[in-house]
């Protein structure tokens, strides 16, 4: 059945205009004023509403064995939460531990998603070890359409890679034309600082930030940039949290390093005082890199407005309060992570566009289009164009609400943004033309989502000539 979205104000990364959108066979087939409804079409009246391309979250954790426990969402719960919040595609981090087989891990992560997600999805392949077997496995994974890697410079002995492993991963990534995303904190410094604090009896969640201060993140970012430069690879810093790391990332870009930057919602809106709250209240806000001194938010918002921060993700990673209390005796045992997949779009729309002067086109770019371009999904995703997948968000900017655990869909017993007001929410969300959400309720097909195969897009001329196409 066709779908006709009539009378909305279409807003993309580049343009804003009134128009109707006709959808047939999962894709957009016409964008014009006053399209006559085909006889079989469902017609949505979008008068007075904004129509955005479906939003893309480039950094989520759904299946995640981590810190002696598992993140709480499944694809079934996370995808519904995502869609209700306007996110129609997410990219999940495949994170096998160092002693797991990479290819087995990849298939485990893929199987968990298959048939269970209500929205489309792709993966970043976590490289948590690089040995004789890894290279062949990564080539196979890239051939399968997963064309981005993830490395951790932190989490020593668990996900973290050595400098030698980072070098080999980036060499291979450059050869294959894939982008490498990186968690940039110096693992050794974190580990030493954690031990120092614990031996002084500093065990509460308020000591998490001092154990991984801004300089530790700036060092990790500098080192990642230097390795990119020496390997001719393209990189993407995930969840950059502070001005010090931003500065070194910008310095690297200015000398020609191909480096992109993501920051995540908590670092724009929450600060370290949330993690300094007593007991479990503080633990709810433990993530890495940690929540920072509030002064960093000015730099992050300015860089986002200027397009120096490319994307806004979530690092969605729900652990409930029982899991957080695993760290009751030592902050080093608190599972790191906070959910946000459901809140990202409404929060950045509210505190960026509506109350903070973030240009609405930059908003669409940072939360959708730029991620699609960086990760090989554009213009299938991240665009409102004839031929693009009909992932559309009809947005009601007149809605007013308050974020609360009582109304959330994420599988968790708290919401890190509890009490935040929101100025707007999606009223209709479609995935390839199928209406999945109406006014805050999931009304669609639970298993509609599919795996998005991507092509490598960072092949240099030298490598393109030397290596036959990877697919």
Which of ligand URP, Zn ion, none is residue 287 near (CB under 5 to 8 Å by kind)?
A: ligand URP
Residue pair 111/143 in contact by the 8 Å Cβ criterion: no
Residue pair 161/129 in contact by the 8 Å Cβ criterion: yes
By CB under 6 A, tell whether 344 contacts ligand URP.
no
Nearest distance, CB of residue 91 and Zn ion, angstroms: 11
Nearest distance, CB of residue 54 and Zn ion, angstroms: 21
Number of residues that bind Zn ion (CB under 5 A): 2
User: 177 or 313, CB closer to Zn ion?
Assistant: 313
By CB under 6 A, tell whether 124 contacts ligand URP.
no
Among 336, 346, 410, 436, binds ligand URP (CB under 6 A): 336
Nearest distance, CB of residue 319 and ligand URP, angstroms: 9
In angstroms, the CA 451 to CA 109 distance is: 11
By CB under 5 A, tell whether 6 contacts Zn ion.
no
By CB under 5 A, tell whether 315 contacts Zn ion.
yes
By CB under 6 A, tell whether 287 contacts ligand URP.
yes
User: 8 or 289, CB closer to ligand URP?
Assistant: 289
Which of Zn ion, ligand URP, none is residue 318 near (CB under 5 to 8 Å by kind)?
A: none
Residues numbered 3 to 62 that lie near ligand URP (CB under 6 A) are 61
By CB under 6 A, tell whether 315 contacts ligand URP.
yes
Among 19, 53, 86, 337, binds ligand URP (CB under 6 A): 337
By CB under 6 A, tell whether 183 contacts ligand URP.
yes
By CB under 6 A, tell whether 150 contacts ligand URP.
no
Residues numbered 168 to 197 that lie near Zn ion (CB under 5 A) are 183
Give contact residues for ligand URP (rule: CB under 6 A): 61, 183, 287-288, 315, 317, 336-337
């Amino acid at each position: 059945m066709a779908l006709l979205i009539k009378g909305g104000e279409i807003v993309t990364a580049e343009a804003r205009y009134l128009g109707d959108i006709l959808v047939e066979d999962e894709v957009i087939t016409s964008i014009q004023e006053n399209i006559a409804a085909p006889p079989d079409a469902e017609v949505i009246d979008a008068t007075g509403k904004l129509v955005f391309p479906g939003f893309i979250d480039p950094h989520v954790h759904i299946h995640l064995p981590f810190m002696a426990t598992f993140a709480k969402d499944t694809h079934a719960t996370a995808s519904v939460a995502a869609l209700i919040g306007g996110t129609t595609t997410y990219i999940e981090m495949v994170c096998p531990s160092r002693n797991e087989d990479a290819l087995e891990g990849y298939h485990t992560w893929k199987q968990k998603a298959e048939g269970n997600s209500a929205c489309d999805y792709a993966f970043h392949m976590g490289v948590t070890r690089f040995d004789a077997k890894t290279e062949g496995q990564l080539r196979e994974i890239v051939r399968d359409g997963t064309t981005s890697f993830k490395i951790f410079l932190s989490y020593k002995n668990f996900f973290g890679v050595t400098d030698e492993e980072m070098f080999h991963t980036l060499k291979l990534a450059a050869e294959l034309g894939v982008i490498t995303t990186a968690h940039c904190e110096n693992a050794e410094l974190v580990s030493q600082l954690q031990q120092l604090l614990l031996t002084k009896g500093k065990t509460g969640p308020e000591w998490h930030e001092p154990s991984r201060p801004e300089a530790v993140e700036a060092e990790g970012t500098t080192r990642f940039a230097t390795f990119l430069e020496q390997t001719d690879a393209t990189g993407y810093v995930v969840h950059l949290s502070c001005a010090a790391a931003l500065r070194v990332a910008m310095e690297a870009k200015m000398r020609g390093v191909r480096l992109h930057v993501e920051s995540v919602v908590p670092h724009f809106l929450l600060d370290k005082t949330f993690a300094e709250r007593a007991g479990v209240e503080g633990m709810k806000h433990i993530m890495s890199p940690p929540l920072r001194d509030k002064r960093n938010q000015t730099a992050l918002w300015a860089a986002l407005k200027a397009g120096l921060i490319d994307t806004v993700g979530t690092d969605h990673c729900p652990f409930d309060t029982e899991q957080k209390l695993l760290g009751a005796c030592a902050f080093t045992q608190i599972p790191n992570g906070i959910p946000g997949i459901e809140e990202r779009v409404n929060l950045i729309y509210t505190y960026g566009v509506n109350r903070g002067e973030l240009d609405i086109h930059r908003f669409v770019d940072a939360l959708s289009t730029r991620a699609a371009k960086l990760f090989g999904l554009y213009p299938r995703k991240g665009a409102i164009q004839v031929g693009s997948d009909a992932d559309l968000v009809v947005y009601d900017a007149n809605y007013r609400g308050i974020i609360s655990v009582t109304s959330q869909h994420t599988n968790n017993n708290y919401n890190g943004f509890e009490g935040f007001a929101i100025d707007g929410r999606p009223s209709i969300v479609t995935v390839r033309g199928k209406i999945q959400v109406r006014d805050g309720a999931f009304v669609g097909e639970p298993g509609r989502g599919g795996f998005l195969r991507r092509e490598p897009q960072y092949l240099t001329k030298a490598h393109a000539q030397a290596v036959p196409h990877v697919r």
